[in-house]
Amino acid sequence: MARIGLVAHDDKKDDLVAWAAKHRHKLGEHELWGTGTTGGRITEGTGLKVTRLLSGPLGGDAQIGAMIAEGRLDALIFFQDPLTALPHDVDVKALTRLATLYNIPLAINHATADAVLAAL
């Protein structure tokens, strides 16, 4: 069982919920962690159990980052919106930097999320 972090920018939350619904059975085999709103939306939309942290800009991104640094996450699915500037962009960069530094699979769109999930 892998421990998977689930995060999505506001304009990508619907996409992540749709992706999670499509892969509901496979995701159900794993331990899921999500930032506040994203985790709630995934649970509501799919019935999957997602342990919810704080909302991303209120510390959830930092909590996910800490989990990566502490070796408590095995993969990160982070659907990003490259066309929207975010006030918490520093948190987003820190999160992707930690995933890279600690060498965990990082998916930022449907194609890479499919590949990461298949590899788990």
Give the active site residue among 11, 14, 15, 61: 61
Q: Which two structure tokens, joined as six digits, stand for 46?
A: 């799919």
Count CA atoms closer than 13 A to 117's CA, side-chain side: 24
Give catalytic status of residue 61 as yes or no. yes
SS3 annotation, 40-99: HHHHHHHCCCEEECCCHHHCHHHHHHHHHHCCCCCEEEEECCCCCCCCCHHHHHHHHHHH
- DSSP H or E segment with residue 34: strand 31-34
Alpha carbon 57 to its chain centroid, in Å, reads: 14
Q: Which residues are catalytic?
A: 61
